[in-house]
Amino acid sequence: MQRLLEPFQYPFMVDAMIVGVAVGVVVAGLIAAALWGLANAYFVGAEKNGRLAVYQGLPYDLGGGVSLYRVRYVSLLDAAQLSEEERVQLFDHDLMSYDDAHARLAELEEDALPRP
């Protein structure tokens, strides 16, 4: 008489598969959280031409032309138009929402830019 199903002979493989899946889920969750964080982190800085800007991402360059940020808004206001105290406060690279970063610039633009 032939047995239809053999009992599973390698229980350690089941444990290894469960651990592997759990590690994969944790790693995928960490990657998703990091991407979400990058997509929702903004800071204020200055472009090479001196214009103030709101950037999305993290304020780091990896080298070779690779940056962890991108420009989302460029102001008509130049960094040179700000006082030293305003520049220090503005360029602290605190991460914030887009609305908060834009509001910081809007406040300065209202005071510094000529009104039509």
Report the share of the chain in percent with pLDDT over 90.
42
**How confident is the model over 48-67, as pLDDT tens digits?**
999 999 999 988 888 898 98
CA distances in angstroms from 13 to 4, 18, 21, 38, listed in the order given: 21, 9, 12, 37
Task: Give me the mean pLDDT over the 79-86 stretch.
Answer: 89
Which residue in this structure is represented by tokens 């444990």?
15
